[in-house]
Amino acid sequence: MNPNERRSTPSWTARLFAVVCAMAVGACSLLKPSTTEPPAFYSLNAAPTALVRAPDGAARSLPTLIITPPRAAAGFDHQRIIYLRNDHQLEYFAHSEWVDTPARMLGPLL
Helix (H, G, I), strand (E, B) or coil at 86: strand
pLDDT of 96 higher than 90? yes
Does 59 map to a domain? no
Does 93 map to a domain? yes
What is the number of structural domains in the chain? 1
Does 95 map to a domain? yes
Does 56 map to a domain? no
* Cα gap 78→100, rounded to integer Å: 8
Does 71 map to a domain? yes
Per-residue pLDDT at 10:
65
Closest alpha carbon to 76 in 36, 33, 106, 54: 106
Does 7 map to a domain? no
Does 73 map to a domain? yes
> Domain containing 36: what range?
12-48+64-109
DSSP strand pairing (80-86 vs 40-42): unpaired
Q: Tell me the per-residue pLDDT of 6-29, one tens digit each, with 9 for 90 and over.
A: 555 668 888 888 888 888 777 666
* Cα gap 72→106, rounded to integer Å: 10
Q: Which residues contact 76 (CB under 8 A, 6 or more apart)?
A: 82, 102, 103
> Bigger pLDDT: 55 or 42?
42
* Alpha-carbon Rg for the chain in angstroms: 32
Does 34 map to a domain? yes
Instruction: Answer yes or no: pTM beyond 0.95.
Output: no
Helix (H, G, I), strand (E, B) or coil at 72: coil
